[in-house]
Amino acid sequence: MRWSVLVVAISPLLFISNQAAGQKDSVAHPSSERAPAGAWIIPVGIFAAAALDPEVREWTLKEHTRSLDHFAKSVNGLGTARHLVPAIALTYASALLTRHESLANGTLNAAAAYIASDLVESMLKPVIGRERPSVEGNSHRFHPFTTSGDWHSFPSAHVAHITSLAEAISMQTRSTPVTILCGSLVALVAWDRVYEDQHWTSDVTATAVLSSAISNATVKWLESHWPRSRDGEQGSR
């Protein structure tokens, strides 16, 4: 289980690292634009996760306990649409009722990021066709363009859902504690998918990176094309 926790933790670390760079004040550099100093973490993290896929699965299967089984079931809901969609709708409705404009706008941005990530995840699953670990335990088996759920290991819908919301919330609040909390939720869901033998470690790690990028791009696009005034402001700029 130690290896499982260590490797699955790569996902939120990538998420937090990405957000830390994105939350810095922007400074004009007309002559050159360099990639963030920690950009190398992403490909290295995904490669390490892929290399350790069989080992992490073996450790995880050996460490199953009744208490962890119950905990995994409770964590599972954090990445499902039947829990997240009502939560988004309730948050938006509450923001409207309390006239909290910034929360309402932020919720709409998060919802759009969720939808964009979900669409990409849904399209990639059948196209890539990676076999789930629970089928034969071979991380190198692929069957592109199939509708069988046994071959829909990548991307992970659960991880895509929670990551899209976590990214949108983190980048809009610009709060380090919130970012850490969001990253922890992503880690829990990623751990659950590996623990339940539904996804490989590289699946959840790469999905977190992909969904984070999609969510980030979606929110930035919305903010640039439909700027909205915040609470207490009358948009007099």
Domains of the chain: 2-20+41-50+62-225 (1.20.144)
Look at the block and give the residue holding tokens 């923001």. 95
Q: What tokens appear for 96 in the block?
A: 């409207």
Nearest CA to 231 out of 94, 92, 103, 90 is that of 103
Q: What is the pLDDT along the chain (237 residues), one digit of tens a residue?
A: 444 444 444 455 455 545 544 444 444 444 444 555 567 788 888 899 999 999 999 999 999 999 999 999 999 999 999 999 999 999 999 999 999 999 999 999 999 999 999 999 999 999 999 999 999 999 999 999 999 999 999 999 999 999 999 999 999 999 999 999 999 999 999 999 999 999 999 999 999 999 999 999 999 999 998 876 544 444 444
pTM of the model: 0.82
CA 64/CA 79 separation, integer angstroms: 21
Q: Identify residue 132 by its one-letter amino acid code.
A: R
